[in-house]
Amino acid sequence: MARIVGSIMTSHVPAIGAAIARGVQAQPYWQAFFAGFPPVHEWLARVRPEVAVVFYNDHGLNFFLDKMPTFAVGAAAEYRNADEGWGLPVSAPFRGDPELSWHLIESVVGEDFDLTTCQEMLVDHAFTVPMKLLWPQGPCPVRTVPIAINTVQHPLPSAARCQALGAAVGRAIESFPQDTRVVILGTGGLSHQLDGERAGHINKEFDLLCLDKLGTDPGFLTRYSNRELVALAGTQGVEILMWIAARAALLHEPRELHRSYHIPISNTAAGLLLLENAAARA
């Protein structure tokens, strides 16, 4: 049976990808941010996941306002990236895992979620930047299953619904008959707002509350409506929905192994959280 080793949640700010491409991780602006990652690299080297199931939010590369699925799951053999500006180089394609994708889709639709299935799917910075942050050396060593949650076109799915989706994804993976080690990623956040009167809005107190609650009391976060999340964390701070889904896929009392929090990276309070699942310790 497949085993979920843990979840890693990280911000996906495009400027991070541009900094990696330019090799400026040691510069004063970036040093404290990148210093958060070595403990996560060490953990990945130890547990060696073979697949990453990635909750991320597309920003207009694959889905646009004309067609906006609430939940979309990749079922492709590979996922290409494409030019989205931001000074980001185009990444090499990422390997998929169609067998796990279709098992997951069968299982989650079997639990009455209405998914969009994508046999072609371009992945944007919300997918590519975290992959490069987690596996900076050489070609990406994991197969991937992207799961996109709409944070672009309101109405968005609620925190409670994203939590329920994450738990269904966790059950789906654990019922996959192959012996595969799976890591769950949740990308985005923490608080940020890119436009409008409150552009630059950051809420450290709320971010730290989220970091605390995700480990020990994730149900706490489902009390917030998306309107409240926007008020607290900014219009793009709703990307915390990815973290909520990624946390919910851990069904067995995870423990927090590492976190870091840094203000600002570009317009964003950058967060990183590593939760290890009991299965990784078995």
Which residue minimizes CB distance to ligand DHB? 266
CB neighbours (10 Å) of residue 134? Answer: 22
Secondary structure (3-state) at 43: helix
Nearer to ligand DHB, 78 or 84 (CB): 84
CB neighbours (10 Å) of residue 188? Answer: 29
Distant-in-sequence, close-in-space partners of 48: CB < 8 Å, separation ≥ 6: 181
Q: According to DSSP H, which parts of 150-203 are helical? A: 159-174
Of 103, 192, 201, 262, which one is the catalytic site residue?
192
Query: Taking contact as CB under 6 A, which single stretch among the options 34-42, 139-147, 172-180, 188-196 is the one that binds ligand DHB?
Result: 188-196
**Interatomic CA distance for residues 140 and 167, integer angstroms:** 26
Q: Name residue, tokens 């009391």.
A: 217
Among 268, 271, 273, 280, binds ligand DHB (CB under 6 A): 268
Q: Is 153 in the site for ligand DHB (CB under 6 A)?
A: no
Of 12, 59, 103, 125, which one is the catalytic site residue?
125
Nearest CA to 271 out of 229, 212, 222 is that of 212
Q: What is the closest distance, in whole angstroms, from the C-beta atom of residue 267 to ligand DHB in the complex?
A: 4
Nearer to ligand DHB, 1 or 32 (CB): 32
Amino acid found at 180: T
**Interatomic CA distance for residues 282 and 280, integer angstroms:** 6
Site for ligand DHB in 9-68 (CB under 6 A): 12-15, 59
The string of DSSP codes covering 207-259 is HHHHHHHHHH-GGGGGGS-HHHHHHHH-TTGGGHHHHHHHHHT--S--EEEEE
Nearer to ligand DHB, 180 or 203 (CB): 203
DSSP code at position 67: B
CB neighbours (10 Å) of residue 266? Answer: 15
Distant-in-sequence, close-in-space partners of 158: CB < 8 Å, separation ≥ 6: 222, 225, 226
Among 117, 153, 158, 266, binds ligand DHB (CB under 6 A): 266
Query: Taking contact as CB under 6 A, which single stretch among the options 43-51, 137-145, 196-204, 264-272 is the one that binds ligand DHB?
Result: 264-272
Give strand pairing partners of 146.
54
Query: Taking contact as CB under 6 A, which single stretch among the options 30-38, 147-155, 159-167, 187-195 is the one that binds ligand DHB?
Result: 187-195
Is 192 a known active-site residue? Answer: yes
Nearer to ligand DHB, 21 or 77 (CB): 21
Among 7, 191, 236, 277, binds ligand DHB (CB under 6 A): 236
Site for ligand DHB in 194-223 (CB under 6 A): 194
Among 49, 146, 170, 188, binds ligand DHB (CB under 6 A): 188
Active site residues per annotation? 125, 192
Contacting positions for ligand DHB (CB under 6 A): 12-15, 59, 188, 192, 194, 236, 266-268
